[in-house]
Amino acid sequence: MGHIPLSYAKEDEPTLSDHFMVQLAQEYLKAMKIENTQFIVVKHGNTDHPHCHIVFNRVDNEGETISDKNDHYRNIEVCKQIKDKYNLTYGKGKEQTNIQKLKGAEKAKYEIYKIVSDSLKKSKNWNQFRDLLKQKGVEIQFKYKGQTDEVQGISFKKGTYSFKGSEVDRKFSFAKLNNQLQQSSIRQTINDANNPTLQGASLVGSVVDGLGTLSTSQAHGDDYEEEMFKDRIDYEEKRRQQKNKRKRRLGM
């Protein structure tokens, strides 16, 4: 099954009759090449903005699987086309959502989005990120490849609800979070190196600390679990860099 919510700005509510919302949903499905299959459109009233949910059978009437390849990019283009065609209001992003109007899983997802976004801005490495999330009641759960230490994905849990990072927001996949935290760490290291009060310290030591690659528990007195956590992140990043080098050599 496939599930797609279509949300509209509150300013457009006067024009969004049930008939018009069904028409928009049908046009959206056709533009997304989701055709010749069973589907339902359900109007939902749990928020202060009009929206509906489309649930459809990914196996069409001929028994063929409806591809979801590049759905994310096609969705962006299709939504723009429909909004421009009918002069609908462009959304203002998740930050403008009134969380108090939501319930259950949807409320938990938006709460996690806000907490992850705020914590990410204040974090320079994975340990800081995890600690800030924990203070707000959100846990990190990693998905590993088989029996290895290679991280394949990340989930966030708050209370009884758990979501994959990409379900909360596409920028919260493990790869994207890891890249952003590394960039934050590098920027912090550069700032420290340019700070006159820190110039007397060893630049090499500063870089090592900033990148979070120190992995011996004797160095800072960190417990074994903390060090294993950092080692896993370092290991995954080295693997990613090696794969990228191989791809460049092969011209991929």
Taking only the tens place, the pLDDT of each residue in 121-131 is 999 899 999 99
Percent of the chain with pLDDT over 90: 43
The confidence score (pLDDT) of residue 26 equals: 96
Return the residue matching tokens 């956590």: 229
* pLDDT for residue 209 is more than 70: no
The confidence score (pLDDT) of residue 170 equals: 82
Helix (H) or strand (E) holding 231: helix 224-249
Using DSSP's 3-state secondary structure scheme, residue 22 falls into: helix
First to last CA, the chain: 33
Model confidence at 203, in pLDDT bands (50, 70, 90)? very low
Q: Which of 70-79, 94-103, 189-198 has the highest mean pLDDT?
A: 70-79
The confidence score (pLDDT) of residue 52 equals: 94
Taking only the tens place, the pLDDT of each residue in 23-68 is 999 999 999 999 999 999 999 887 778 999 999 999 999 999 998 8
Task: Supply the pTM of this predicted model.
Answer: 0.49
User: What is the C-alpha separation between 70 and 63, in angstroms, rounded?
Assistant: 21
* pLDDT for residue 164 is more than 60: yes
For 44, phi then psi, to 5°, come to: -125, 140
Q: What is the largest CA-CA distance in the chain?
A: 72
The confidence score (pLDDT) of residue 71 equals: 83
* pLDDT for residue 149 is more than 90: no
